[in-house]
A and B are shown apart, each in its own frame.
Chain A
Amino acid sequence: MTHRAYSVSEHLFLAAAVISGLLTVAVFCFLFLFGLPLLQSGQLTDLLFSPWAPAKGLYGIYPMLKTSLLLALLSMAIAFPISLGCSFIITSLAPVRLRGFLLAVIRVMTGIPTVVYSFAALFLLVPLMRNLIGHGTGMTILTATPVLAMVIAPTMILFFVNSFTRVSTAYTLATDALGGSETQKLLYVILPQAWPGVVNGVLLGFGRAMGDTMVSLMLAGNSIGVPESVTESARTLTAHIALVMAFDFDSMEFKSVFVCGLFLYILTAVLMMLFRMSTAYFSGRK
């Protein structure tokens, strides 16, 4: 093939891709530049592990970090078994007609706005939790957990189903021919073959759980102390960013928002790299 000059539209294609790539980097640079004063002021470990006490000049994001991780892990603990069960049903346990219907319902669930989930839960779950705990507003980590689980489950299910159906039919047909039941096929043939896909689904689900704003903002109560138990009101990293408008734009509180943002950005980047590495590793091994 001969080298020839690209036409105008081909240059535009290139420009679009380069601009989009640069914007991704630009978001990081913006966060870094605005968060720099706080990063310079103290050691990084101080920032990550000290409490939030503006009176003492401490702007550590540890309380938000702990809440985010706690909430994400708890909702993963609920969403993971449910997603695995649902993907089992959709892959092979249910009658064929029901499978397609269930898959369509799960797909539509991914499009339900999180603000709608949270709005309904605010009037369903919060009064319930208030009565159960017996004190406080009822907005706690535990209130947000099942809602967040419901938000991340569809994504994980779609990913699991996708990796289950990619298992070679040579294996599944062989199991059928040997007289294996559907459950045996799932447990001893499909799952051992498709578990890299399960790992990737979990990575994505965890990323979504850490990154969701509306559920924790509306249901977890947003108080800024370090949560001692799951029945306490607490603030996540994303909710802290969402409340940025309440701070004075020159204050250290405002700058702490960018440290939260930087942390979330870096976490996403690391999760995505793990995701790519595991995909490459497992596809290379086959």
Chain B
Amino acid sequence: MRKLFEDCITILSWFAGLLLITALLFLVAYLVYRGGSSLNVSLIFGETAALDALLLKRQVFDGIFPAIAGTLLLIIGSMFIAIPVGIAGGIYMAEYCSGAIKSLFNLLFDILAGVPSIIIGLAGLLLTIFLNRHFQGQIATCLLVSCLSLALLVLPYLIRTTQTALETVDPVIRKTAPVLGASRLQNITLVLLPNAISDIISGIMLATGRCAEDTAVIMLTGAVATAGVPHSIFGQYEALPFYIYYISSQYNGPDELAQGFGAAIILLILCTGLLISALWIQRRLTTMLLYR
């Protein structure tokens, strides 16, 4: 009886694994089957010449170039805000904080990491409404608000990865420099950070992937269906995930649908690419930096 039970568990486990992998392969195959034919230069630039579009000489109307540009700007903007704050916060948590304050901060960052992204988007929207009411300015949802919200979304990941990376540095390495007379700050910048750099960079790449994929935040804070390439950070913008969502509900005809599938493939490649390189860096960069 017991033998039968054990065999069942073994078979069911393999079945579960097979099911998940099959579902994944089926999904990717379906995306490629539907969108593979639309993957070419005209998917991105439409009728416009590629060089003109890249130099912003002419607007792209029937390609997804504005959406790709919007997503890249979002990534750059939000990481520009989140990386310094996240790493500085992580250093404080690992090296200076202790006791009850530390567990309070830990809990706060865990909550922030667990809060659904739509709530972060809602907070961004509220901030805009609040500013609008109190300063009578013509502040609307825009690229800047989205970048701030996305930065808040990935902040806990950056703090946590930096903190863990610093805390897991070999204690022997950690204590050597202070014994030789280095200050606490010198120890951090010259010894601990270089030792933890691969974990920190891989955390940054994971956070970048999160910025690129998130739809819930940007749909409340300024992403729109048609805006062209944004000219200022106070303008509305297009973004890949929002474009995919928009196409799914509003497509006219098979051509637009194929474009939607093409955009889905590009976003999939962007996000998984970032993730794979994060995993790869974690393994390789350490050796590169320590033995150069």
A: residues with CB less than 8 A from B are: 7, 9-10, 12-17, 19-21, 23-27, 30-31, 34, 81-86, 88-90, 93-94, 102, 104-105, 107-120, 122-124, 146, 150, 153, 181-184, 186-187, 204, 207, 210-214, 218, 238, 241-242, 244-245, 249, 257-258, 261, 264-265, 268-269, 271-273, 275-276
Indicate whether B143 reaches chain A with its CB closer than 8 angstroms: no
> Are B268 and A212 touching (Cβ within 8 A)?
no
| Residues in chain A near residue B23, CB distance under 8 A | 146, 150
B147-169 CB mask vs A (1 if < 8 Å, else 0) is: 00000100110010000000000
| Residues in chain B near residue A249, CB distance under 8 A | 129
**Chain B binding surface SS class:** helix
B1-24 CB mask vs A (1 if < 8 Å, else 0) is: 000001101101111110111011
Q: How far is the CA of A183 from the CA of B272 in the complex (A)?
A: 33
> Are B272 and A20 touching (Cβ within 8 A)?
no
Which of A19, A30, A88, A153 is within 8 Å of B9, CB to CB? A88
Indicate whether B142 reaches chain A with its CB closer than 8 angstroms: no
Q: How far is the CA of A60 from the CA of B15 in the complex (A)?
A: 42
> Are B116 and A214 touching (Cβ within 8 A)?
no
Closest residue of chain B to A121 (Cβ to Cβ) is: B27
> Are A108 and B20 touching (Cβ within 8 A)?
no
B: residues with CB less than 8 A from A are: 6-7, 9-10, 12-17, 19-21, 23-24, 27, 30-31, 34, 84-86, 88-89, 91-93, 95-97, 104-112, 114-123, 125-127, 129-130, 152, 155-156, 159, 184-185, 206, 209, 212-213, 215-216, 219-220, 241, 244-245, 247-249, 260-261, 264, 267-268, 271-272, 274-276, 279
Which of A9, A20, A115, A150 is within 8 Å of B112, CB to CB? A20
| Residues in chain B near residue A93, CB distance under 8 A | 10, 13-14
> Are A107 and B275 touching (Cβ within 8 A)?
yes
> Are A244 and B220 touching (Cβ within 8 A)?
yes
> Are B34 and A123 touching (Cβ within 8 A)?
yes
Q: Give the distance to chain B from A189, nearest Cβ to Cβ, in Å.
A: 13
Q: A82-B20, A115-B267, A214-B215 are in contact. Are A264 and B248 (CB under 8 A)?
A: no
CB pairs A–B below 8 angstroms (5 shown): A9-B185, A16-B84, A20-B85, A115-B264, A119-B264
> Are B267 and A24 touching (Cβ within 8 A)?
no
Q: Give the distance to chain A from B280, nearest Cβ to Cβ, in Å.
A: 10
**Chain A binding surface SS class:** helix
| Residues in chain A near residue B274, CB distance under 8 A | 111
| Residues in chain A near residue B130, CB distance under 8 A | 30
Q: Give the distance to chain A from B278, nearest Cβ to Cβ, in Å.
A: 9
Q: How far is the CA of A112 from the CA of B85 in the complex (A)?
A: 26
> Are A85 and B13 touching (Cβ within 8 A)?
yes
> Are A17 and B15 touching (Cβ within 8 A)?
no
Q: How far is the CA of A7 from the CA of B264 in the complex (A)?
A: 48
A-B pairs, top 5 by smallest CB distance, nearest first, are A85-B16, A211-B116, A113-B213, A111-B275, A16-B88
Which of A82, A184, A212 is within 8 Å of B6, CB to CB? A184
| Residues in chain A near residue B159, CB distance under 8 A | 17, 20
Which of A115, A214, A269 is within 8 Å of B111, CB to CB? A269
| Residues in chain B near residue A182, CB distance under 8 A | 10
Closest residue of chain B to A157 (Cβ to Cβ) is: B20
- 17 other contacts beyond A113-B271, A122-B248, with CB at 8 A cut-off? A16-B89, A17-B92, A17-B93, A20-B85, A20-B159, A89-B14, A105-B24, A108-B272, A115-B215, A116-B264, A119-B261, A146-B23, A187-B6, A242-B118, A244-B122, A261-B122, A272-B111
> Are B245 and A153 touching (Cβ within 8 A)?
no
Q: How far is the CA of A182 from the CA of B23 in the complex (A)?
A: 26
Q: How far is the CA of A93 from the CA of B240 in the complex (A)?
A: 40
> Are A120 and B30 touching (Cβ within 8 A)?
yes
| Residues in chain B near residue A146, CB distance under 8 A | 23
Closest residue of chain A to B270 (Cβ to Cβ) is: A113
> Are B219 and A114 touching (Cβ within 8 A)?
no
Q: A114-B213, A213-B116 are in contact. Are A218 and B268 (CB under 8 A)?
A: no
| Residues in chain B near residue A212, CB distance under 8 A | 116
| Residues in chain B near residue A94, CB distance under 8 A | 17
Q: Give the distance to chain B from A257, nearest Cβ to Cβ, in Å.
A: 7
Which of B184, B248, B271 is within 8 Å of A218, CB to CB? B248
| Residues in chain B near residue A211, CB distance under 8 A | 114-119
Q: How far is the CA of A34 from the CA of B129 in the complex (A)?
A: 11
| Residues in chain B near residue A153, CB distance under 8 A | 20
Q: Give the distance to chain B from A182, nearest Cβ to Cβ, in Å.
A: 8
| Residues in chain A near residue B152, CB distance under 8 A | 23, 27
| Residues in chain B near residue A268, CB distance under 8 A | 111, 114-116
Residue among A93, A113, A186 having the largest count of chain B Cβ atoms under 10 Å: A113
